[in-house]
Amino acid sequence: MALKDFKWALITGASSGIGREFAIELSKSALNIIAVGRDHNRLKEVANKVRESSNVEFVIYPADLSKKEDVDSLIKDLSKYQVDLLINNAGFGLYGEFTELALDEIEKMIELNIKTLTTLSHVFAKKMIERRSGGIINISSVAGHIPLPYFSAYAATKAYVYNFSLALWAELKRYNVHVMCVSPGPTETRFFERAFRQQSIQRFGNRMKPNEVAIGALRAFEKGSIVYTPGLKNRFIVFVGKKLMPDRFIAKVLGG
């Protein structure tokens, strides 16, 4: 799937981290960008960064995609654009004992990580099918491949993304629409600020750079990969979780 054949890319969670790097890298391939995020000022910074070295069109769309009304407005407002590549990157996690976490925050996470991703995939996949061309990149996590105590609800949302993406790939490939799932491990993004609040994140050791994840994912997409897990350590974790150890054993060990 050649990125040079695409005109517009819609990226959620584009104000920082992996989403920001997707916007920068795709602009180098001459794709016009629609950048969605909650922080308008950060989106402007990304736009300025892109415009320093590219003449592509860059549309800023501030929105909180955990709110249905914002998702509905986005779909309506962007209907005039031919979105050839959808990158569902927006999402967040919550760390801690499940019953100690605020229920409204868990529900907001499920709304964003699952419902919004599904809604946008449905809306834009329909249009891609009509054109017999397009692509969707969904951002899951290594957490979506294993039962992960203290990240239980978050890991479950990412397991949904993984399984949904592979099933959608199988459905859409006949229409020349390629779906790929990306499963990053710990990455230097703002994810940890929100997930851990005041808690230590030292247990995760070295984290990947977000541009490494974005560049690797786009290369994998162009090669036609269905699943891409960046980083040797992360690929090992997924391999162990799926091939070597029973889920119940992993959950027991990680649960302490």
Which pLDDT tens digit goes with each residue over 23-33? 999 999 999 99
pLDDT at 189: 63
Q: Which pLDDT band, with edges at 50, 70 and 90, does 254 fall under?
A: low
For the chain, which domains are there?
3-255 (3.40.50.720)
* Amino acid sitting at position 201: I
User: Which of 61, 154, 160, 162 is labelled catalytic?
Assistant: 154
pLDDT digits (tens, 9 = 90+) for 34-63: 999 999 999 999 999 999 989 999 999 999
Q: Which pLDDT band, with edges at 50, 70 and 90, does 244 fall under?
A: low
**CA–CA distance, 41 with 50 (Å, rounded to integer):** 14
The reply to whether 154 belongs to the active site is yes
pLDDT at 122: 98
* Amino acid sitting at position 10: L
For the ranges 84-88, 191-195, 203-207, the one whose mean pLDDT is highest: 84-88
Looking at every residue in the chain, the average pLDDT score rounds to 89
CB under 8 A, 24+ apart: contacts of 234-243: 234/142, 234/183, 234/184, 234/185, 234/208, 237/142, 237/145, 237/146, 237/185, 238/142, 238/145, 238/146, 238/183, 241/142, 241/145, 241/146, 242/145
pLDDT digits (tens, 9 = 90+) for 148-158: 899 999 999 99
